[in-house]
Structure 1
Amino acid sequence: MSDAREARLLLLGWNFRGASGPVRERIAFTTEEVREGLRRLLGKGLVSESVIVSTCHRSEIYGIAEGKGAGEELTRFISDWRGLEPDVLERAAFRRFGAEAARHLFRVAAGLDSMALGESEVLGQVRQALSIARETGSSRAVLHRLFESAVRAGKRVRTETEIGVHPLSIASIGVELANKVFGELAERTVLLLGAGETGTLFARHVLEAGVRNLKIANRTPEHAEHLASRIGAQAVPWETVARELPSADVVVGTTASPEPIVRRADVESAMRQRKGKAMFFLDLAMPPDIEPEVRGIYNVFAYDLDGLEEVAAENRRRRVREVPRVEEILEEELGRFLTWFGNLSVVPTVTDLKRRFEEIRDRELERLPAAERERVRPLADSIVAKLLHEPMRRLKNESDAARKLERLEAVRHLFDLDPD
């Protein structure tokens, strides 16, 4: 498409709300598959611009297309490419057009459409999607402007609100609580009990927090040694856990042992050797790895899963309270984009509408004899001009960008200005 005359912003997507895990897996794209998909979409002429956002929770195709059937054509394209039945894709898909497609992307970039409200990783994924599209040559004037605007909105949300400040994951909350006790964890020693999935996840979190001295103990020593070698930690024998306590500032239990591993007497002994210096215990296991009674020891800070869930629930409430301010920012930035996009579309739509009226005028005049036709033409021209004047004026002067786009879409639909 060489100009913006028939430019129509559309979104075809699948996410965790409407698509099952197996469907999302089938339509999740690697980076190279995104590049291939963009090349195919443009090569088939389905869109003139395209950006694909693909994560574990969503696959969304943004495009600038001609005509009314582009959404259905995109569904058939994905069906053929990924080997999924069209009706399966159709049931799980959602579509957005014009202002609503743009608004959806802004909400995605801000973390409002994520499973974890306000999560920040998705902003980087939106930025990466634009980068890939630019490399492929599939992002041009409209989508480049749209995605740049969405990224800018997402950055503002991060800096001007606290929607991403309070962690929601148990591991992140544990690290934050430990930071509150010690100020920072970089110089602290962390003893991790267990090398399974939960232990591995927590190990990554503390390393990201700057911890340099991480010790791992596991009943099966090979598991502790394997994890330690992968992440640059130190494996210690399971039977020495009690002897490791005096040197440990943070102790994390993740084994779900039938009996507690760390008992109150062990902690009392460790605190005497530490001369009362603070210890932080985080019990992520069920049944607990750490005796609940350690909470009664002076300068010992201990949290179990119930306590962490309470913090997580409060953090979720804090994030929800930030949503109105986030939406204000998004609507402000969205309005700027829609104003630009609307101005891009008003003149072509008005031109097409004028052309349509003139076609009708000419067809009707052709029914008249030549002499009468020339006599009536000035009157017909005047009627066309008067009929068009007010709609054109209203379209051009509409100050609400979203309403302007909606009216442009309505005009193009009502007067059949788009090709089939």
Structure 2
Amino acid sequence: MDLVVTGLSHKTAQLALRERAVFDRDEAIDMLQRLKSDASPQLLLLSTCNRTEIYAVASDVVATGQALRRAVFDERLAGVEDADKSLYTLHGEAAVAHFYRVASGLDSLVVGEQQILGQVKHAFQLSERAQTVGSLLHRLANGAFRVGKRARGETHIGHGAVSVASIGVELAERIFHDFSGKRALLIGAGENGRLCAQHLLARNVASLTVTNRTPEKAEKLAADLGGDTAPFDNLVAAIVAADIVISTTGAKGTVLDARIVREAMRARDQSALIIIDIAVPRDVAPDVDGLPNVFLFDIDALNEIARRNVQLREKEIPKVEKIVDAEVQNFMRWWGSLDAGPVIRDLHAHFEAVRESEVSRNSKRFLEADRGELDAFSRTLVRKLLMGVTQRIKGYRKEDPVELERLAGLRAAFGLQESDLDE
């Protein structure tokens, strides 16, 4: 048995193609159950906005890789010219390394992003629900979780916000420190504005108001976010009632100019106001930044911070790669140790260690003249206890899924450490 993965990602496919290959929770479970077979008993389907990948434990990785392409992708990508060129297939150690790079954030669209580890855990939970998890997949997933945790705990790969939405909120946090009691106003219904508002709500902003030229859009977004609406034709009043303004209309003309903001500031007794302009073209006139107690951050400022943070993350890549390499080798040592020979050797070594410990601990209870006989008797006892088990294990092949589980079960049952395969 070996590991094989086939899929597509942001590196090989445009968004329009990736969207067609997304599986929701129920679809993923159904696909896993339909694909499960004696030839491929262990399966994991990882589906996000940036990748869809199916991992399988199989005896024939070439045939299984082709079968997975047909089953998972052919129907969803039907009619797309050269769709097959967007798919990749890896097996063995390369598949393990790929999975660990994904979990670490190295293979993400934004290096070091936090969400991918949670998505990997969710994919594993779906495999458990579909009953497509065995010893190899369980070990592989635990290694991936460990890689993700180490990458974020031992390096700075996840430090520094890199999305416009999260950077805008972090800058606002530097000024207000605490969002409780602060009121947010969202002008427009753009996706970045929605994300920015979600970040604010996650930090316990007191209230959120949405305004838009199209009232129906404002009402829908406000309902989605749990906020209120305000009329677009009275922005002064809306700003007076806010501490943080997020503007994301992208209108051709200026939405907020110095006159509007100055009037609002007078009505709010010049208390601090943060304006985050993430629209292109800009919604807010540049001279607004010169008003007292008004802090304006536009898309260029946010992108510059994002660029610097990405550079900082990229410096951490070699450290994360070392973690990935170490964990890949740990997995491959364990995988190699499931051959019958290493299992037999480690099982005998385990019993011999127990025998030696017990003989040493109890030797004082015997006459010195009898201790040699005790040692010989205990060796014979251990050998005979293991004789039948050894004979059966010798015939096991890890290419057989049932026998693979038995070999892995023996290691787990006796707590056997993996052999040094280079010896």
SS where residue 110 of structure 2 aligns? coil
Distance in 2 of aligned mates of 1:86 and 1:250: 45
Match of 1:66 among 59, 67, 81: 59
Q: Which amino acid aligns with 2:313?
A: R
* Alpha-carbon contact 1:242-1:262 (below 8 Å) kept: no
Match of 1:345 among 329, 339, 343: 339
Distance in 1 of aligned mates of 2:107 and 2:272: 40
Distance in 1 of aligned mates of 2:344 and 2:13: 40
Distance in 2 of aligned mates of 1:317 and 1:111: 15
Distance in 1 of aligned mates of 2:80 and 2:297: 49
1:12-411 mapped onto 2 (5 Å cutoff): 12-43=6-37, 45-67=38-60, 69=62, 70-78=64-72, 82=76, 84=78, 88=82, 90-345=84-339, 347=341, 398-399=421-422
User: Residues 87 and 178 of structure 1: is their aligned pair in 2 closer, same or farther, counting only changes over 3 Å?
Assistant: closer
User: Residues 350 and 28 of structure 1: is their aligned pair in 2 closer, same or farther, counting only changes over 3 Å?
Assistant: farther
Which stretch shows the higher mean deviation, 302-311 or 333-342? 333-342
Other-structure match for 1:357: none
Distance in 2 of aligned mates of 1:287 and 1:26: 31
Q: Which amino acid aligns with 2:256?
A: V
> Which blocks of at least 5 consecutive residues in structure 2 are unaligned?
346-418
SS where residue 106 of structure 2 aligns? coil
What TM-score do the two structures reach when normalised by structure 1? Answer: 0.75
User: Residues 308 and 36 of structure 1: is their aligned pair in 2 closer, same or farther, counting only changes over 3 Å?
Assistant: same
User: Residues 190 and 89 of structure 1: is their aligned pair in 2 closer, same or farther, counting only changes over 3 Å?
Assistant: closer
Encode CA deviations 1:123-148: one digit per residue, 9 max, x unaligned. 11111111111222211001111011
Which stretch shows the higher mean deviation, 51-60 or 196-205? 196-205
How far off its partner does 1:346 sit? Answer: 7.1
Q: Which amino acid aligns with 1:182?
A: F
User: Residues 273 and 164 of structure 1: is their aligned pair in 2 closer, same or farther, counting only changes over 3 Å?
Assistant: same
Distance in 2 of aligned mates of 1:272 and 1:83: 58
Distance in 2 of aligned mates of 1:299 and 1:170: 23
Encode CA deviations 1:197-221: one digit per residue, 9 max, x unaligned. 4443433332223222112222233
* Alpha-carbon contact 1:110-1:118 (below 8 Å) kept: yes
What TM-score do the two structures reach when normalised by structure 2? Answer: 0.74
Q: Which amino acid aligns with 1:149?
A: G
User: Residues 222 and 9 of structure 1: is their aligned pair in 2 closer, same or farther, counting only changes over 3 Å?
Assistant: closer
How far off its partner does 1:103 sit? Answer: 0.8
Match of 2:2 among 5, 8, 12: 8
Q: Which amino acid aligns with 1:338?
A: M
SS where residue 233 of structure 2 aligns? helix
SS where residue 9 of structure 1 aligns? strand
Matched residue pairs, number? 349
Distance in 2 of aligned mates of 1:216 and 1:280: 16
How far off its partner does 1:273 sit? Answer: 4.5
Aligned Cα root-mean-square deviation (Å): 2.9
Which stretch shows the higher mean deviation, 315-324 or 249-258? 249-258
Distance in 1 of aligned mates of 2:80 and 2:290: 61
Distance in 2 of aligned mates of 1:81 and 1:266: 54
SS where residue 238 of structure 1 aligns? coil
How far off its partner does 1:84 sit? Answer: 4.0
How far off its partner does 1:62 sit? Answer: 1.4
Q: Which amino acid aligns with 1:163?
A: I
Other-structure match for 1:381: none
How far off its partner does 1:80 sit? Answer: 6.2
User: Residues 319 and 87 of structure 1: is their aligned pair in 2 closer, same or farther, counting only changes over 3 Å?
Assistant: same
How far off its partner does 1:175 sit? Answer: 0.9
SS where residue 62 of structure 1 aligns? strand
Distance in 2 of aligned mates of 1:91 and 1:350: 45
